[in-house]
Each structure stands twice: as C-alpha cells, then as structure tokens.
Structure 1
Amino acid sequence: MLQTDVPPTRRRVVLRAALDRPRAGRRPLRFHTVTTAASARQIAAMGLDGVHVAAADTGGQDAAELVARIVRATPLPVLVDLGPTGDADTVAHIAAAGASGVLLDDTSPDEGAAGDVETRVRTAVRARHDPALLIGVRTTTDRARGLVDTIDRARARLAAGADLVVVEAPASRATYPVLREALTAPLFVTATPVTGGDPTSVLLPTVTQLAAFGMDAVIHPVTGPRSPAATDRGSRIPCDTGTPRGLADALLAGARRDAVR
C-alpha cells in the first residue's frame, strides 16, 4: 500500500494558507468524495487538491479507522463530513486520525434545541488540539425563510467559531455572489445541481464562473474511476475547465467504457 510522509499537521497548515489567499478569479480548490484508500490514491494521481469523506457513508466501518487509512494513502488534505453529529469525542478521534478539517450540518438532531448548532460548533472548537484543524458548517437555503436567513445562520455559526461555510443546494446561481459579498469566510460548494425557479439554475456553474463568484473550493460527489485506464484518462483532464461535476462524470464514463471492452 502506498504510504505518504506528509504529516497531517503540515496538510492543515498548507490548506489554511491556500484558503487565506484571495481567490477572486482564481480556480477553486478541487476536492473529491472518496470511500476507500484506493480511491483517495486515484484522486491524488489526478492532480486534485484534496479528498472528502462522509462519515455516514463508511459502510459500517469505523469512521476514524477509515479516515486514518485514507490519510496514510494520500498526501492530500482530508475533509471529513460528520453530518448532524459532531460531539467532542468524535471530533477528537477524527482529528487524531489525521483529518485536515471536519464539516458539521447546519441542522439540529433535536429540532427543538435552540442554538444547538452553535453549541456543536463550540464543542468542535474546544475538542481540536491542533488550532489549524478546520471546522466548517454545511448550510442550505430554506426557501420559505429566504437568503437573508441563510446569511444570518452562517454568520452565527462563524461567530461560534466555524472557519468556513459549505454552500449546499442554492435556489439559483445568483445565491453565490450574494453569499460571497455577505460572508468573509472561505466558501465551499457541493457539486450537486441547484433547483429553483430561476431557469438558469438548472445547469451547474462552470469552474470559471465559480471562480468569478469568489468561491474557494468545490466538493465533487462520489463518482470515480474503476480501472487503471480510466484513472490514466482522468489524470489528463484539465482541472480548471467545465462544470464542477464534469471531471467526475468524464471519469465515470471512462470507467463504463472500460467495463464493456
């Protein structure tokens, strides 16, 4: 198994430094969701900037153990999505496994617990022993409450100690520049189609458009190569063109072609 000698502390510092630089007009960092150490190695070979792991999608494996294997397999920073959980022990174990950052959902397991999300953010901040560990909050726009509510909630999470905001399923492309203007923290985008009344929102913005909007990073979904040939083709696909999901879709198409040969 490929091992890497880039320590987790170094990856955290490098990632923070990359996010601290002004990104207006620059290509967003490219993260890709992985479920195995092997797929993490493929992402590194493709020249992307980091990997993303959803703790809920570990197939029954211990999340910290999976993260540790992925960290050993790639020199890239590893972001771990903890979903609506994120107690102190979980954050500490994921950080000890080598994660570069953790992401929390902007929802409360107990819908009646006012301020619970801020409490979980503060808990995560206290649980990290390395101050370079990133803590992010994944926020969605409630169409009934509107974009102002989204901004208010994001600001409250940042005030509680979060380092970044993940933009999830905006109502239209116009949401991106509004959030960029309203929030000073790094903004990540999940590469899933937006749905709303705006007819221009059917297609994802291109990477170039997201750069113009000032987005800092893109997280691709779980679609990756299944063969060495597909990996080789993927490594030659430019990482700064097309839609955020275009690279992943091209890889999956290549893997399907390999499967029928």
Structure 2
Amino acid sequence: MGNLLGNDRAPRARLRELLAAPAPLLAPGAYDALSARLVEQAGFDAVYMTGFGTTASLIGRPDVGLLTGAEMADNARRIAAAVDVPVIADADTGYGNALNVVRTVQIYEQAGIAGIQLEDQVMPKKCGHMSGKALIGAEEMAGKVRAAVAARRDPDLVLIARTDAVATHGVDEALRRARRYADAGADVLFVEAPTSEADIERIAKELSGVAPLVFNWAEGGRTPPLSLERMTELGFSLVIYPIGTLLAATAGIRALLAGLRADGVPPLDGLPAFEEFTDLVGLPEVQELEQRFRG
C-alpha cells in the first residue's frame, strides 16, 4: 500500500520481472486512486489505469479522446502514489506527434508509472472496442515508438505499443504493424480487439518470440473471453481487465440510489463499515504520523 512518506520501490524493474514470468500477469483496471488501492488489496501484482474508466470517472463521458494528456497524467500520478505495485497506464496516442510522445513519456515517467501504453489511432482516438476508428500510418507510429524509447530516462520503463489495425485493415496488417513496432523498440505488443478465438491464436502464434503480448479481456467488448488456462497456453504475458471495477462500481451505486429513492434510507447491507473503510484508505497511518510528529 502506498504510504504517505513514500517507499523505496522499484516498480519498473518489478514489472519487467512479472512480465518475464511463465504465467500471465493479471492487471485489473483502476480509474482512480481508490479503485487502485482495492486492486492492490485484493492481491494483484499490478494495476492498469484504464483510459475508458478515467474518462468516465473524471468527466462522465465516453472514451473518444476528450481528455488531455495532462488530465490523464494527473490521474496516473494519483494512482501510482496510492499503491506499491507497478502501474501500467494508458497514454492513448501520446497526444500528438512524435514530439508530443517525448513529453508524454517524460511526464508519465515523472508520475511514477511503470508501463506506458501508446496506440496507432488518429487523434482524437476512440475506445478500441468502438466502431469508427482510424489509424495513422505504420511508419509514423514506428517513429512515435522510437521517440518514446529515446525519451525515457529509466531504461526499465516498459513501453507497450498497441495497434488497432484488426478493426480497420484486418489481422494481416495488425501483425505487420506489431512487428514493425517491435523493431522500433517496443517492449510489449498489444494487438487490440481480435474478434474470434482463431484470430487470437494466430496473433499469439505469429508474434511468439517477437515480444511479450497483451491480451485485453475487455468486459463486454468485441474480443471473445478466454479462460486463464487458455491465455497461459497461448503465451500471453499480460492480461488486462480494464473496466470491470468501473462497471461494478456503477452497479453498486445504482442499487444504493434506487433503494434510497424508494425507501428514503440507503440500503447498507453488504457495504463496508465506516471504520473498515477508513482503515482501507489509510487512517491508521495518518494517526500514527500525527503521534510521531506531535510537537
């Protein structure tokens, strides 16, 4: 758990160790610092900052490129400060051209992020499981990847290159782009939104040995859900579950408000007690520090 006084941590080196392990690294999505703390408390070794969830939670809008890089980086900073486990953060398109990518990588690195995800969509982008996406050229994206490699100050910062080409150009082009981005220096490859298990198997087979691979277990998205056993067999190194926490929070809030509206009293069954919640967000640490530094 991230402490107020900080910790001697090496989250980027830790993320690289986890990605090199035989079993996939599971990274549930977090949209704010509280959901990130809950992911860590549940025993997961990494947190994924979801752009979809960040947009929904900050401005109550869909993930169609409405947030700026500064807004995304601020959310990433808060999440990274709240937990001790590595945080992998969505950085969309890098918010411009290769020069913008340089600044984006540096700002995310300063925010304490262990892994940054960049994609090859035209800006403004759309959620990878929405229709109407458009892509920049493969060579332009390769230039962005090279810029990201040159911009990072910590060589352990993990750079994830995502292609959305399956939806716009097909699997062949997605594979070609993924290899091109690996050649440009990407540490991890992310082929977004394949729509069949056969395509997933082909992607895993043809990119095996090129770079570690991401599987996006997008809750309710276009990609068929696979079991953890199957994802392990296929050799995926990182599995993200981007919006399950957001959907669960939405369902819980809806249920509470419906009960309050109907009865005038919020239904509290199943909710954490007040003291449990204050422990969760670190009140005991605050009280200990108050005693420690009392004049």
State the TM-score, normalizing by the size of structure 2: 0.67
Unaligned residue ranges in structure 1 (runs of 5+): 196-200, 226-247
Distance 1:208 1:220 in 2: 16
Select the residue among 202, 216, 232 that pairs with 1:211: 232
Instruction: Assess, with a 3 A threshold, how the Cα gap between structure 1 residues 62 and 252 changes in structure 2: closer, same or farther.
Output: closer
2:245 matched residue in structure 1 = 224
Distance 2:25 2:253 in 1: 24
Select the residue among 114, 123, 137 that pairs with 1:100: 114
The one-letter amino acid paired with 1:186 is P
Q: Which has the larger radius of gyration?
A: 2
Q: Secondary structure at the match of 2:236?
A: coil
1:82 matched residue in structure 2 = 91
Distance 1:211 1:144 in 2: 28
1:129 maps to 2:153: yes
Which of the two has greater helix per residue?
A: 2
How far residue 167 of structure 1 moved from its aligned partner, in angstroms, is 3.1
CA deviations over 1:144-183 (Å, ceiling 9, x no partner): 6432221111000010010111232102112222222222
Give me the CA root mean square deviation: 2.9
2:18 matched residue in structure 1 = 18
Instruction: Assess, with a 3 A threshold, how the Cα gap between structure 1 residues 191 and 6 changes in structure 2: closer, same or farther.
Output: farther
Distance 1:134 1:170 in 2: 23
How far residue 113 of structure 1 moved from its aligned partner, in angstroms, is 5.2
Which range moved further: 140-149 or 32-41?
A: 140-149
Instruction: Assess, with a 3 A threshold, how the Cα gap between structure 1 residues 194 and 223 changes in structure 2: closer, same or farther.
Output: closer
Distance 2:198 2:145 in 1: 28
Instruction: Assess, with a 3 A threshold, how the Cα gap between structure 1 residues 16 and 114 changes in structure 2: closer, same or farther.
Output: closer
Distance 1:143 1:103 in 2: 19
Distance 1:112 1:17 in 2: 32
How far residue 70 of structure 1 moved from its aligned partner, in angstroms, is 1.4
1:31 maps to 2:27: yes
In the comparison of the two structures, how many residue pairs are matched?
Answer: 227
Kept after mapping to 2: 8 A contact 1:53/1:78: yes
2:291 matched residue in structure 1 = none
State the TM-score, normalizing by the size of structure 1: 0.75
Unaligned residue ranges in structure 2 (runs of 5+): 59-66, 96-100, 124-133, 260-266, 268-295
Percent identity, aligned pairs only?
29
CA deviations over 1:46-85 (Å, ceiling 9, x no partner): 1112112245735267333322221121011111111112
